[in-house]
Each structure stands twice: as structure tokens, then as C-alpha cells.
Structure 1
Amino acid sequence: MKNIKRIFIFLFVCLSIFAVNVSCSNDDKIVPPTDSTDTSGSDGDTDSTNGQVEGSEGEITLYKVNGDDISKVQDYKVKDKDLEYQKDVAKHKEIWELVKKIVPADQRKKMGEFLIYNGEVTGSAGFVIEIKKDLSVWQMGIAINYAYEGGFNAGGELAYTIIHEFGHVLTLDNTQLDAAVTQENCKNYFPGEGCALENSYINELHAKYWNDIWSEYQDAKKDEAAQAQFYEKYKERYVTQYASTNPGEDIAEVFATFTTQKDKPEGKTIAEKKILLMYNRSELVAFRDHIRKNLALRGKGNALAFELPQPGMWKQANTFGNPHKTKCRRH
């Protein structure tokens, strides 16, 4: 009888560990293996769900990125409104065209996959996640329902989302982190995906403007009330409330503000000093100039300029993200 109880306890522990691992992997990666086959015609429309995978987090259509172009990997098994979204390939392409305007060709090499999904399931507008363990290739997901909320890119929210999300790729890829180094062996900041290199953007940000309040931040992660108190105490350090979620969200928000804010700040606050860190990097200034030129943000006089939210005014600016999630970048 004792042996049976021991076996039962052992099996229970194993199943519990397995359940936790499955939950984490579902958060971190929502795409099927990339050898999935296309089950629709070349025009993107589908009349059959034979062989299709049913996603668990609003997945609609997965594309492979080939430079300027995207080619379908697969349609997910969907119905009702999501089926309408799936068949409206013109909208998929319109979203991708905006991604191309924002992300330069040399940077798009880091994007291996592009996912169209319905953000109602996860409450997110976009995300990025690594699809190679070495952090060299990433998937970007854009929620089609949010992309067209109030009309395509209403208020510039979609463009801001793309800028913010690619800010994660820019600051967490294999040029910035070493995925082979574990947290235990990391001498610099460890954002979750890997160990930050000494001269990386996020390591500089953390060392200069997070390290001195790190123990307070760790305590504040316990609940949203504590997060709110932490933010109120240190709000001059952050470009938005959302940036105080963790250093990964902070640097993505700093990059988005650096891009959307017309004038170079004076550096009167720590939030402004974080932006100035990016002005010190010529490659980031070139990226900023590319975006502002392609989105006509340099418009003069009565010239029609592309609309973006005012710095710090995007829809989720005054919310908190989940500080415990590092590897799942959903917004």
C-alpha cells in the first residue's frame, strides 16, 4: 500500500511539472512547427479546414517572411469572424506593408515569421517571440482586430505597436544577448531570453537607471498595488507607466518614444536621459530617421504627415504589464 502511495505521489509531481512546462511554452510560442503545409489556394482564400490546426490563442494565418514579401505557411482552423479575417488577405498585406515601412530591410532579416491573429483571446495588440534559440530569428504577431479598430491604424496605434514590438527584437536579439549563458552564469542583466552583453542597450539601461532601485522593484512585483506605489515614487524615471513593468518593456517604450518624439530632450529627468542613451547610438538614430522619413513624420506646414500617438499617450501607456513575464512580449 505504501508503495502504491509513493507511486501515486511521484506521478502527481511529474504531471504537475509537465502542466507548468506546457503552460509556459504556450505563453512563449504559439506557432506550429514551421514545416506545416499550406492548406489553401495561392490567393489565400480557403474553403476547407481539412488538415488545419486549431490555435489556442486566436491564431488566424501564419506567414513566412522572405525579405520584402510574406508567403503563407498555413491557415489555422477558424470560424465566424475569424474566418472573415482569414479570407481578407488584403488586410493581412496592408498590415505587412506598414511593417515594411517601419522596419528597414536589413533589420527585417531578423523576422522569420509573421502571424495574423485575433487579439481578443489574449487581450493583446501585438507580440514578438524568438523562433530560434540563439535569438537570431523572431516571429512578429499583429492582432488584426486591433489593427482595424476604428479604421486601419486609427490614431497611429498600429504603427506605434509595430515600433514598440520591434523595439523588443532590436534590444533582445543575438547582437544584444547571449542565449547560451544561463542566469546563474550571467554577470550582466538577464532579461529572460539570455544574458545581456556588456555593451548592449538593455544592459546599459539597467546598470544606469534600474540597478540602484532593483531591490525595491523586486518587492513591487508582488501585486499591482505595490507596482503602483513603485511607479508613483519613481515616475520621473519612466516615459510611460507601462515602461515601469520591467526593463524589457522600459527599453521598448523608450525606443518608441525616442522615435515618435520630434525634439531631442534636454535630459532633465531620468526618463529623458534614457532617451538620450539612444541618441548616443548612431545605428539607433539611423533607425529613427528611417521610420520618421517613411512615415512622413517630417512633414512641414500643412503637409499631411503620418499620425502617431503623442509620446506617452498610446492606449496602454497608463497600464501595467505582467512584470513576471519576460519571454512572452505581448501588448
Structure 2
Amino acid sequence: MEENNLPSQTTNNLNPNNSSPETPPPIIAPAPSFFKKHLWKIISGILALILIFFVILYFLPYDEEYDDLGMNDINFEDELGNLDDELNNTLKENENTTNQLLENNNIVSYLDNLEYTDEEENGTDLVTYLINTDNTLQQDYLNKTAKYKQEVNNIDEHEFIWNYTSEIFSNIPEKNYIKKFIINTDGPEGNLASMHLSDTNTWEIYVDPADVLKNGKVFDSMDFIYTVVHEFGHLITLNERQVDHGIYYEDECETSLISEGCPYVTSYYNQFENLSMMTKESDFDNWLDAIDTGDEDEIYYFYEDHTDNFVTPYAATDQAEDIAESFTNFVLRDKPTSNTTLKDQKVNFFYQFSELVNMRQQLRDNVLVVDNTFFSKPLIIK
């Protein structure tokens, strides 16, 4: 058997027969781990990377973008201030874009110095525009009278007035009922604007530039806005979802027949009329009698005796004007703090309808687009 080169192993070191002790086996140290073996290399590498980073940072040209990455000292208050400035600038840019639509320094008002005859007191249609689906205008009728030639062709003015008016109705679906925009005039201090349902059941809005513009500028935005919202109130309460325009006879109408047709039982108009009838029956009947006379003085005297029943003197004109005036005050004034008088109840009437409350907010937002100081001033109506 071949001899083993390894040293012999002692099986019993305490054997007394051995004259001398055997040499103990050498202690073999465990091999160092990879980490310990290369520790100095790892440390050297990290230090080298740190050194390279600072060298690059030192020699790299300054760029404002490093502020965004947090590589320079940041003053967060300044940064927030800058963000506010950027936001305000964006809002101003949007406002300026809108103002460019609503302000045109090149407008000339050709109606400012015209003289009017008695025959024209009821108003004269100068131009009729069809309203396209994209809110642009398309001429449909032109008045051929030589006296109005310049105004008939005053398209910049007409578009300005339409943009101003339609902005107040923007983002409200009922605006789509309006199919025609008509430039009409009866001279200064006459009928500023009106909304009518035509014989063909088409809603048309009329505006008189002579009562809107002076030297190419809107000279009384509060009065114009109030009037436009009032006319929109007619549209809201008398459109085809509120009134059956195909009924012309009282015996066919379940409610009270009006010139636009028969209001549905659930219509705003009918419910509002029921509210008005909750006052003294004699007062309501006397009011209707005054309306039937058509005598403006008699109607005004009735108003003077019942000022708690109407939001304005004009509201006493008839029931359609009563609900339109109440709607306008619902939109443009704060909610009444009480509900004791009939005129307050008439304004509060609209708050029971969530869709009208939402419409109110949209109209108020739109008003601020055309006049951002409107609600900071007392509402004074001529």
C-alpha cells in the first residue's frame, strides 16, 4: 500500500506509552471574504466618484434649469411667488383675449346723431342675422333705407354687440333657442333690448346700438347687462319646454293662456303665478284688472300701493314681466335675508330649482367676463 504524505494523526494524545508529545497540527486561518479583501479598492472607487462629481459640478456652466432640479440653493417663498406671478400672467392673457373680443376701438356708432320720426318710435329693423352653430352671424335681411345705410353695413359694431350679449348666455343650453339676432333702433333712451317668440315660434333677440354704445363704447354696462339677463328670463320661462306654443284657445289650456301659448302645469310660469295668487285674492284680481286696462298710470298707482309685492315697478306691468324681473334679481342680487314679503318670496321661488341655481352661478360668472366690477357696485337700474 502506498504511503500517505500527510502527517500521521494521533488518535490519543494522552497515551502514557509515548515518550515525547507529537507536534500539534498547524492552525489554518480562514480565507478573507471578497469584501474585506477588496475593501481598499471599494473605498478608493467611492472617493474617486465623489471627487469627479465635484469637479464636474465646479466646471459645469450655470443653467437655470438646475434650479428646478434642486442643484442650487432654493428659496421656496420666491419660487411660490414666481408661480403666482405666472398664474396671474396666464389669467391676464386669457382676460386680454376675451377683452379683445369685447373691446373694439375701431367701432363707429352711426346712430349717435340721427334724428327719429314718430313713426320710428316702435323701432325699425336694420339688419337681421341668423345665428350659426359656431355662434357667428349670417346676414338674412338688410334695411335699404338710405338714412341707415352706414349703420346697416356697420358689421364690426354688430359683431361686437352680439359677442358681448352672447357671452352673458355662454355655456347655458337654453341659449340655443335663440335663432336670430336683430339690430333694431327706436332712437336713444328707447327700447334697449328685447326677446320675442316670432309667429314661426322662433326666438329672436333685438338690440338697439343707440342705447348700448356711445362713441363706440358701452356707456352703461350695468343697465345693458341687467336688460339682457331680464330678456333671458323670458326665454327661460317661456321656451318650448315650459309652454305649449301650439295652443291658442283658453278652453284648450289647462292653466292660464298667454300670448306665447299654454304654460305647462309644472312650468316655472304656472308655479310662479300660483305663488302670486297666494296674496289677497282682491289684490291679485285688482292687479289683473289694472293690467287689462293697459293704462301705465293705473298700473303704476297699483304698484305704489303694493310695493312689497314686486321687486321693481316694471315687474307690475304684467305677469310675464313680473317673473322676468324676479328672475333677474335672483341672478344679479344676493339671496333675500327674509321671506316675509311677496317680492322676497318671488325671488326665493327660483332657489328651489337646482338647475336654476346652477344657471344663476353660470350667468354670474359670465357677467364677470364682460364686466369684472359688476358685483362690486350697487345695482342701480334706470
Q: In structure 2, which of residues 324, 347, 353 is the aligned counterpart of residue 252 of structure 1?
A: 324
Tell me the residue number matched to 1:321: none
Query: Do the aligned partners of 1:183 and 1:194 also contact (CA within 8 Å) in 2?
Result: no
Taking the aligned partners of 1:260 and 1:180, their CA distance within structure 2 comes to 33
**1:61 is aligned with what amino acid?**
V
Query: Do the aligned partners of 1:189 and 1:195 also contact (CA within 8 Å) in 2?
Result: yes
Taking the aligned partners of 1:123 and 1:132, their CA distance within structure 2 comes to 24
Once the 2 structures are TM-superposed, how far is the Cα of residue 140 of structure 1 from its aligned partner? Answer: 0.6
**1:239 is aligned with what amino acid?**
V
Tell me the residue number matched to 1:191: 258
Aligned to 1:296, what secondary structure does the other structure show?
A: helix
Tell me the residue number matched to 1:74: 141
Structure 2: unaligned runs, 5 residues or longer: 1-119
Structure 1: unaligned runs, 5 residues or longer: 1-54, 316-331
Taking the aligned partners of 1:126 and 1:207, their CA distance within structure 2 comes to 29
Once the 2 structures are TM-superposed, how far is the Cα of residue 74 of structure 1 from its aligned partner? Answer: 2.3
> Per-residue displacement from partner, 1:126-156 (whole Å, max 9, x unpaired)?
12221364x4x30111111101148315142
Taking the aligned partners of 2:288 and 2:333, their CA distance within structure 1 comes to 30
> Per-residue displacement from partner, 1:80-124 (whole Å, max 9, x unpaired)?
3x3332222111111111222111342221011110111329931
Once the 2 structures are TM-superposed, how far is the Cα of residue 267 of structure 1 from its aligned partner? Answer: 1.8
Aligned to 2:246, what secondary structure does the other structure show?
A: coil
Q: More helix per residue: 1 or 2?
A: 2
Once the 2 structures are TM-superposed, how far is the Cα of residue 125 of structure 1 from its aligned partner? Answer: 1.2
Tell me the residue number matched to 2:284: 214
> Per-residue displacement from partner, 1:210-249 (whole Å, max 9, x unpaired)?
4633321232232233223311222101110000011100
Tell me the residue number matched to 2:170: 104
Tell me the residue number matched to 1:173: 239
TM (norm. structure 1) is 0.69
Tell me the residue number matched to 2:160: 94
From the superposition, tell whether residues 308 and 193 of structure 1 become closer, same or farther in structure 2 (CA, over 3 Å): farther
> Per-residue displacement from partner, 1:174-216 (whole Å, max 9, x unpaired)?
1111122222322312222111111111111111114633321
**Mean Cα displacement is larger for which, 257-266 or 190-199?**
257-266
Mapped pair 1:276 → 2:342: no
> Per-residue displacement from partner, 1:299-320 (whole Å, max 9, x unpaired)?
9xxxx52469844x322xxxxx
Taking the aligned partners of 2:337 and 2:199, their CA distance within structure 1 comes to 37
Query: Do the aligned partners of 2:170 and 2:366 also contact (CA within 8 Å) in 1?
Result: no
Tell me the residue number matched to 2:90: none
Tell me the residue number matched to 2:205: 140
The sequence identity of aligned pairs, in percent, is: 24
Mapped pair 1:226 → 2:291: no
Taking the aligned partners of 1:266 and 1:174, their CA distance within structure 2 comes to 33
From the superposition, tell whether residues 291 and 234 of structure 1 become closer, same or farther in structure 2 (CA, over 3 Å): same
Task: Map 1:1-331; keep pairs closer than 5 Å.
Answer: 57-67=123-133, 68-80=135-147, 82-105=148-171, 106-120=173-187, 123-131=190-198, 133=200, 135=201, 137-149=202-214, 151-181=217-247, 182-210=249-277, 212=281, 213-221=283-291, 222=293, 223-296=295-368, 304-306=372-374, 310-311=378-379, 313-315=380-382
**2:211 is aligned with what amino acid?**
Y
Query: Do the aligned partners of 1:189 and 1:206 also contact (CA within 8 Å) in 2?
Result: no
**1:62 is aligned with what amino acid?**
T
Query: Do the aligned partners of 2:190 and 2:211 also contact (CA within 8 Å) in 1?
Result: no
RCO higher in structure (CA 8 A, sep ≥6): 1
Aligned to 2:259, what secondary structure does the other structure show?
A: coil
TM (norm. structure 2) is 0.60
From the superposition, tell whether residues 193 and 268 of structure 1 become closer, same or farther in structure 2 (CA, over 3 Å): same
Taking the aligned partners of 2:349 and 2:188, their CA distance within structure 1 comes to 36
From the superposition, tell whether residues 308 and 156 of structure 1 become closer, same or farther in structure 2 (CA, over 3 Å): farther
> Per-residue displacement from partner, 1:37-57 (whole Å, max 9, x unpaired)?
xxxxxxxxxxxxxxxxxx983
Taking the aligned partners of 2:123 and 2:220, their CA distance within structure 1 comes to 24
**Mean Cα displacement is larger for which, 115-124 or 175-184?**
115-124
| Count of paired positions | 253
**1:296 is aligned with what amino acid?**
L
Query: Do the aligned partners of 2:225 and 2:367 also contact (CA within 8 Å) in 1?
Result: no
**1:142 is aligned with what amino acid?**
V
